[in-house]
Structure 1
Amino acid sequence: MPYVTLEQIERAKQMDLLTYLQTFEPQELVHFSGNVFTTRTHDSLKISNGKWCWWSRGIGGRSALDYLIKVRDMTFPDAVIQIDGQAGIVPPAPLKAQEPAEPKKLLLPEKNENNDRVIAYLTGRGIHRDLIDYCMETERLYESHPYHNAVFIGFDRKDTPKYATLRGTTNRRYMGEANGSDKHFSFSIPSRKESRRLHLFESAIDLLSYGTLELLSGRDWRGDNCLSLAGIYKPKKNIEESTPPAALIQYLEDFSQIDGIVLHLDNDVPGRLAAKTIKVLLSPSFAVIDELPKRGKDMNDYLKIRLGLQRPKELERL
């Protein structure tokens, strides 16, 4: 077994994974989005803010040393020599600036002169007016012109609109996205105070339904962070090869204090598969709880049943 000195170990511990790959294995480094990178060999391994996480295996770390041992299966001495030996032979040349990917330009629909139809549509689905008003005041929601769709906006950390999902109010079957939408930044509502828990939903309406249920139960509907996904999450056939939804990865990168996730996905085959996959990919790095709607297929079904706006399916069959 090769011998390494304490000085070599200390030097090896100082190198983060991004610097190591940029300097010694640039062909292995792939830009994912913003300040997030992945690797060509493992696309579910994400590197950001001095840390890395291999989502499909639930392992992570900070240093290049951790990566070589946990991902490359190197022995500790071999990993130290790989880093320190490289550093001793190859001078740290200035890094070539990577050509930034052209940012997507979000094309938001024109605003209508009022939001009357969106308000009527959402209250008709049981959403409390307090939540609707909050979303409109914070510019997360408005009514489009000329089609009167409900437009739900997602923002980045600088409060710049990056994503918009559209829901028809006249044609109730219509669902779409605005051109240039970035799925990493879907519709969300932050907690009133810092919270370590994130609630995850398939749609903006399910998110607002959960908030309404919290309000009706006398709890702070903004007690925790809430995030909706940009559509139904479809994992790969082999769960272990899947990557968590882009919006979820981005949110966990942006809000590193979160250590618990509550899933409120649909009670149907796609929803159950999505919940199972996310739980497999994120455990044990996060405490993941799967909470099905108590009645109906989704959170909005349950809200409407509770308010008497919808009959339970089992009663309809009688």
Structure 2
Amino acid sequence: MYFEKEELRRAKQMSAIEFLKRHRPEELVRCGTGEYELRSHDSFKISESTSLWHWKSRDIGGKSALDYLVRVEGVPFTDAVQYLLEQEPPGYMPTPKSAGRKPFVLPPAAREEYRVELYLQSRGVSLDVIRYCISRGILYESLPYHSCVFVGLDPNGVPRYAALRSTCDGPNAFKREQVGSDKRYSFCIPPLVRSRRAAVYEAAPDALAHMTLEGGRADKYRLSLGGIYVPQDTSTDRPAKPPAALEAFLQNHPEVDALEICMDNDRAGRWAAQNIAKHYSKEYTVTVNLPPGDGRDWADAAKQQKQERAARSRAACLNREL
């Protein structure tokens, strides 16, 4: 179907926040000053004043109602334009999110993890750490795109969550969560034996990178939160909602009594670390451990260590040749 430029301009006029207030008011939950989240997707945040939205778990964003319908609700583009123009009843009506969560199914696995190993090693992660995770069924390479799949298990060892990350850089790179993932069972590297300590990270690669920096020690749980949420206004005294992944993890691991908060060393990470530490400090021994350098994460630190080690090796080879 063809639309005139003027029709497309009109279809893009309605903002996402206007659409949600008019057609999905039951989905909007206020979560801060001038900001909402969706009842069905708490990692989706939208500004009331600008209509800018960001779906953290899928790393996508937009502003218009058209963006929202196509990218969040999956409405075909032509149907979404028709819907907004009100030319005729929409041929596609979005399934209400309250109808239930889509079933979780892991992506098909490749026969080997060659590309995943190369990619993670390029990020500074040691091969020993990579294979430790592979051997425990929490990391593999998918088909057909050969992405990294970081698997989260429930207490019975059943996969309930997966974070996907492409093994390429550039415009085709992506990171998202598998449809139907349950954030309560986010990616977690288990220790060799039960431990009373747990380290908490923003993303799965950070957990592998920090484990590498610590010599591959499998002496504590290493839990990824699958991203963090920081409100636009961080000056409010309103307490932050504790991460679902950490809350469920602590309920399932009552033996844990010490937490190491290993967020990224940027504004969002420092704010999250402060609030997580404040929330749990009465019940747990809490330490905050951020990577060195402003704006850096643990993957940056591991990559730098690898580069420095390679530089020292090259220098030593040159000295021997001289």
Query: How high is the TM-score relative to the length of structure 2?
Result: 0.60
Q: Deviation per CA, 1:238-257, whole angstroms, max 9, x where unpaired?
A: 45432210000000000011
In structure 2, the CA distance between the partners of 1:309 and 1:117, relative to structure 1 (3 Å rule), is: farther
In 2, the alpha carbon distance for the partners of 1:286 and 1:275 equals: 14
Q: Deviation per CA, 1:65-101, whole angstroms, max 9, x where unpaired?
A: xxxxxxxxxxxxxxxxxxxxxxxxxxxxxxxxxxxx9
In 2, the alpha carbon distance for the partners of 1:104 and 1:284 equals: 37
Which has the higher Rg, Structure 1 or Structure 2? Answer: 1
In 1, the alpha carbon distance for the partners of 2:253 and 2:276 equals: 18
Q: Is the 8 A contact 1:108 1:164 kept in 2?
A: yes
1:178 is aligned with what amino acid? Answer: Q
Q: Is the 8 A contact 1:163 1:183 kept in 2?
A: yes
Which residue in 2 is equivalent to 1:184?
184
Q: Is the 8 A contact 1:163 1:187 kept in 2?
A: yes
Structure 1: unaligned runs, 5 residues or longer: 1-100, 312-318
Which residue in 2 is equivalent to 1:305?
304
1:190 is aligned with what amino acid? Answer: P
2:212 is aligned with what amino acid? Answer: T
Out of 280-289 and 168-177, give the one that drifted further.
168-177
Q: Per the alignment, in what secondary structure is the counterpart of residue 191 of structure 1?
A: coil
Q: Per the alignment, in what secondary structure is the counterpart of residue 256 of structure 1?
A: coil
User: What value does the CA root-mean-square deviation take over the aligned residues?
Assistant: 2.2
Residue 230 (structure 1) aligned to one of 212, 226, 229: 226
Q: Is the 8 A contact 1:106 1:162 kept in 2?
A: yes
Equivalence map 1:187-198=2 (5 Å): 187-198=187-198
Q: Deviation per CA, 1:205-263, whole angstroms, max 9, x where unpaired?
A: 11001111111xxxx61111110111123368545432210000000000011111111
Residue 273 (structure 2) aligned to one of 272, 275, 288: 275
Shift in Å at residue 193 of structure 1? Answer: 2.1
Residue 139 (structure 1) aligned to one of 133, 137, 140: 137
Which residue in 1 is equivalent to 2:213?
213
Q: Is the 8 A contact 2:265 2:293 kept in 1?
A: no
In 1, the alpha carbon distance for the partners of 2:181 and 2:257 equals: 28
In structure 2, the CA distance between the partners of 1:164 and 1:306, relative to structure 1 (3 Å rule), is: same
In structure 2, the CA distance between the partners of 1:127 and 1:206, relative to structure 1 (3 Å rule), is: same
Equivalence map 1:245-264=2 (5 Å): 245-264=243-262
In structure 2, the CA distance between the partners of 1:243 and 1:284, relative to structure 1 (3 Å rule), is: same
Q: Deviation per CA, 1:160-203, whole angstroms, max 9, x where unpaired?
A: 00000000112453101111100001110122222211100111
Q: Is the 8 A contact 2:101 2:180 kept in 1?
A: no
Shift in Å at residue 309 of structure 1? Answer: 6.3
Number of paired residues?
A: 207
Equivalence map 1:41-190=2 (5 Å): 105-171=103-169, 173-190=173-190
Out of 278-287 and 168-177, give the one that drifted further.
168-177
1:161 is aligned with what amino acid? Answer: P
In 1, the alpha carbon distance for the partners of 2:104 and 2:308 equals: 36
Q: Identity rate of aligned residues, in percent? A: 38
Structure 2: unaligned runs, 5 residues or longer: 1-98, 311-322
Residue 240 (structure 2) aligned to one of 221, 239, 242: 242
Q: Is the 8 A contact 1:295 1:301 kept in 2?
A: no
Q: Per the alignment, in what secondary structure is the counterpart of residue 259 of structure 2?
A: strand
